[in-house]
Amino acid sequence: MSGFGRSVYAWYAAVRNVLLPRGCAGCDAPDEVLCSSCRALFTQVCSKASPGDADCCYACSWYRGVVRHAILAWKDHGDEECDAVFASLLADSVVRILHASHVSTTHLALVPAPSSVSSMHRRGRWQMLPIAKAMARDLHGYGFSVVVRPVLQLEGVHSKSVQASNASARSRRIAGHVRVAEDLVDDGSLFIVVDDIVTTGATMRHCMDALRSAGVQRVMGCVLACTPNPSPDTKC
Domain ranges of the chain: 38-235
CA atoms in the 13 A half-sphere facing the CB of 60: 27
**Burial class of residue 161 in the structure, from the number of CB atoms within 10 Å of its CB (0-12 exposed, 13-18 middle, 19+ buried):** middle
Write down the pLDDT at residue 192: 96
SS (H, E, C) 86-140: HHHHHHHHHHHHHHHCCCCCCEEEEEECCCCHHHHHHHCCCCHHHHHHHHHHHHH
Distance between CA 182 and CA 205 in Å, rounded? 19
Cα-Cα-Cα-Cα dihedral sign, residues 114, 117, 118, 121:
positive
Classified as helix, coil or strand, 222 is strand
- Other C-beta atoms lying within 10 Å of the C-beta of residue 218: 16
Where the chain has pLDDT below 70, the residues are: 1-20, 48-55, 156-176, 229-236
CATH class of 38-235: alpha beta
Say what the pTM is. Answer: 0.80
Strands (E) across 82-202 are located at 107-112, 145-148, 152-154, 178-180, 190-198
The DSSP element (H or E) to which 234 belongs, if any, is: strand 234-235
| Ramachandran assignment for 31, one of left (phi > 0), alpha (psi -120 to 50 degrees), beta (any other) | left
Distance between CA 148 and CA 125 in Å, rounded? 17
Distance between CA 157 and CA 173 in Å, rounded? 7
Write down the pLDDT at residue 169: 47
Residue type, 22: R
